Amino acid sequence: MNCTVANTTTNLEGTRGWVRQSNDRGTLDIIISCCITIFLCIWTSVCVNVPAPEHGMWSMLRDRWHMFCLGLLGPEFILLCAVGQYCSARASFHAFARTKHEGWTMKHAFFADMGGIHLQFQDVRSFPVNAKQLHFLVASGYISYPKITTNDINDKNKADGLARMICTLQIFWFTLSTVSRPIARYAVTTLELTTLAYILCALATLFFWRHKPMDIRTPIMLECSTPIGQITDRWGRAATGSYHYTPLDFVSRGEWIGTRLWTYYVNLLRQMGVVHYYPPELPVRSFSSFNFPIPTRPMLFAMLGISFGYTGIFVAGWNLHYPSLTERLLWRICTLGTMIITVIGGLFEVIMMLRQYQRRHSVSVLVHNPDIEVAPTHRGHRKNHSMEPTRLQVILQNIRNNTPDKDPHFDIPIRSLVITTPLCALYCIFRAFILIEDIISLRELPGSAFAAIEWSMYVPHI
């Protein structure tokens, strides 16, 4: 990397009066400014779920670090998580409103969905209930409406207002400085473009998680006098079978193509030894922070629009200066490729979601109270075991479902894997090159990239 020492007006001999500060910036200044902005964007926007009662702060910090790493590699995944959780909380808010529980707010809904409410039974150890399960229990008369006030949640909320204020100021200053550079005919680096992309995702994530409490360490316990076995027996086969998380899975199992693909590729990484797997004890004591509830169709289209803008920021570097023609060509291929994959992947998710909505509409089971909906049984629970499966059928089943317990809710059609696997691989390769190029392109930049903007030329002043 070429290093130059700027000419300064400092006179080593004699004395001088007021000396104006240099208006240049160095390579390290660019790196520090971008890294601080990216760190603040991700760290302040991440909201993890409530840990198990016996774990506490360290478990929460570990989850937050893991989510920070995911946000660093792919902030759009954190955004998808936030969008889905927002849709789930909003559905809960309307469900409680229909049953005349006006005190239930979006903050209550997020608090429940993040595992902030544990149900204590006599026959099993306590486990978390999400907002939909809680509404089911209240509407069915198993428990009374919980008297949890907004102040109760705020007392547990550890949201760092100072950190978010600093992040907001840094985002405003960085965005203003970077957007103003082309106007002043100064060069912009690819690292600065990438930082702008992180800012877009962070702002969208903060918007959808604006009601979600942050860093809650302990849940609130609710007593239920009805044995859990009595509750599940009443609702038939869908409730009495095996469960993946808690005995109330039959109320709110909502796997969609997004969660199935996420689980599939995470399990693939576990089988490769990249990610460690620790089988949870059932019922689980906390909800995973990497929870992707199904978004509504309008929100999915909004998510696609934001993702399109996110990838479009990289394409904006089409004609930037690159150390070599090969790097410029690769940048164009990778940035255009990520945009195309985003569009294809988004359309694929929309098509699969529409099919799932139609299937749910035809098989959903509504009980006597129209405000209570029980999740339909999965087709995979009822199979004909009279014939021994062939070797080919076993291989195909292992390919389409790699969960340790072969939960049929995570079955993925082979055609979906054929489409998504190469797209995901290409997307990871493209994103990896963009991040690498952000760093290696700093070895050779145009001179104007080191010039700072003279704000006095653009801001009215006396």
What's the average model confidence in pLDDT over 393-413? 87
Least confident of 21-30, 96-105, 452-461: 452-461
Structure-token pair, residue 172: 């405003």
Sign, Cα dihedral of 139, 140, 144, 147: negative
Distance CA 389, CA 454 (A): 74
> Does residue 373 or residue 190 have the better pLDDT?
190
Kindly tell me if the per-residue pLDDT of 92 is higher than 80.
Answer: yes
What's the average model confidence in pLDDT over 259-267? 91
**For position 57, what pLDDT does the model report?**
82
Question: To the nearest whole percent, how much of the chain has pLDDT over 70?
Answer: 86
- Is residue 335 within 8 Å of 318, Cβ to Cβ? yes
What is the dihedral angle through the alpha carbons of 55, 278, 285, 63, rounded to the nearest 10 degrees? 50
- Is residue 46 within 8 Å of 68, Cβ to Cβ? yes
What's the average model confidence in pLDDT over 315-328? 95
127: β partners: 119
What's the average model confidence in pLDDT over 82-111? 94
Give the up-direction half-sphere exposure of residue 252: CA atoms within 13 A in the CB hemisphere.
21
**For position 424, what pLDDT does the model report?**
92
Kindly tell me if the per-residue pLDDT of 316 is higher than 80.
Answer: yes
Q: What stretch of H or E contains 259?
A: helix 257-271
**For position 359, what pLDDT does the model report?**
63
**For position 187, what pLDDT does the model report?**
93
Helix locations, 74-189, DSSP H = 75-98, 106-113, 131-139, 150-156, 161-183
- Per-residue pLDDT of 156-178, as tens digits, reads 887 667 777 888 899 999 999 99
Taking Cα atoms as reference points, which of 420, 241, 267, 254 lies closest to residue 344? 420
What's the average model confidence in pLDDT over 16-29? 76
**For position 366, what pLDDT does the model report?**
42
**For position 12, what pLDDT does the model report?**
60
Least confident of 6-20, 114-128, 139-153: 6-20
φ and ψ at residue 24, rounded to 5 degrees: -95, 165
Distance CA 293, CA 86 (A): 9
**For position 409, what pLDDT does the model report?**
86
What's the average model confidence in pLDDT over 246-258? 87
Please compute Rg for the chain using Cα positions: 26
Look up the pTM and report it.
0.87
Kindly tell me if the per-residue pLDDT of 142 is higher than 80.
Answer: yes
* Sequence-separated contacts (24+) of 247-252 with Cβ below 8 Å: 247/124, 247/127, 247/283, 248/129, 248/133, 248/136, 248/137, 249/375, 250/374, 250/375, 251/132, 251/133, 251/136, 251/374, 251/375, 252/130, 252/132, 252/133, 252/136, 252/375
> Does residue 248 or residue 5 have the better pLDDT?
248
Q: 378 pLDDT band (50/70/90 cuts)?
A: low
The terminus-to-terminus CA distance of the chain in angstroms comes to 42
Distance CA 62, CA 60 (A): 5
Amino acid of residue 249: D
Kindly tell me if the per-residue pLDDT of 83 is higher than 60.
Answer: yes
HEC letters along 17-39: CCCCCCCECCHHHHHHHHHHHHH
**For position 376, what pLDDT does the model report?**
53
What's the average model confidence in pLDDT over 231-249? 82
Sign, Cα dihedral of 63, 66, 72, 78: negative
**For position 234, what pLDDT does the model report?**
84
Q: Look-up: residue for tokens 């095996």? A: 242
Q: What stretch of H or E contains 271?
A: helix 257-271
Kindly tell me if the per-residue pLDDT of 5 is higher than 50.
Answer: no
Least confident of 311-315, 325-329, 341-345: 341-345
Kindly tell me if the per-residue pLDDT of 232 is higher than 70.
Answer: yes
Structure-token pair, residue 70: 């995911």
Q: 58 pLDDT band (50/70/90 cuts)?
A: confident
Distance CA 108, CA 138 (A): 14
Q: 93 pLDDT band (50/70/90 cuts)?
A: very high
Most confident of 41-50, 163-172, 265-274: 41-50
β pairing state of 117-120 and 220-223: parallel
Kindly tell me if the per-residue pLDDT of 442 is higher than 90.
Answer: yes
> Is 31 exposed, middle or buried (CB count within 10 Å of its CB: 0-12, 13-18, 19+)?
middle
Kindly tell me if the per-residue pLDDT of 194 is higher than 90.
Answer: yes
DSSP structural state of residue 449 = G
Distance CA 68, CA 139 (A): 38
